[in-house]
Amino acid sequence: MRGKQAPRREIEGDSKYSDINIAKFINYIMEEGKKSVAENIVYDAFEILKDKSKQDPRHIFNKAIKKVSPLVEVRGKRVGGANYQVPFQVRGERRYFLACKWLIDASNKRRGKSMAEKLSLEILEASNGEGTAVRKRETMHKMAEANKAFAHFSR
């Protein structure tokens, strides 16, 4: 590696809730630098969540993230000419990133409606332990369990 490693930037909280996790989620939704559009989508989704559940949308969002976050993932590793799917523990930052990515992807794949409505439905389902994003986590855990025999190849 040449030179110094780039310093980690501190992320400020979002404008409405002053929450770092929501600010990161907005940044993950953002496309082509259009942050105001991403903010509108997230805040509209939170309003829909508030109307549907009569609870604090941040509480529902955090619950959904917790239910979607994977504990283990599999990575391909080449050992002696053969590729093995080796299970690894997921670090905290990556865990949050994967949960957000799966929620956004599952929302995008839904048909009809606006993105805010699709996102709010997916977050609500995830907080109840249902939905596409939660199924993705279950699949990841099953794959790691099936390949547990290759865990000794990690490092």
Cα separation, 62 vs 123, whole angstroms: 9
What's the CATH number for 20-153? 1.10.455.10
Cα separation, 33 vs 20, whole angstroms: 18
Q: Return the structure tokens found at 83.
A: 């590729």
Are 147 and 74 within 8 A, CB to CB?
A: yes
Positive or negative, the CA dihedral 105, 106, 112, 115 is negative
pLDDT in tens, 27-84: 999 999 999 999 999 999 999 999 998 899 999 999 999 999 999 999 999 988 999 8
What ranges do the domains of the chain cover? 20-153
pLDDT of residue 99: 97
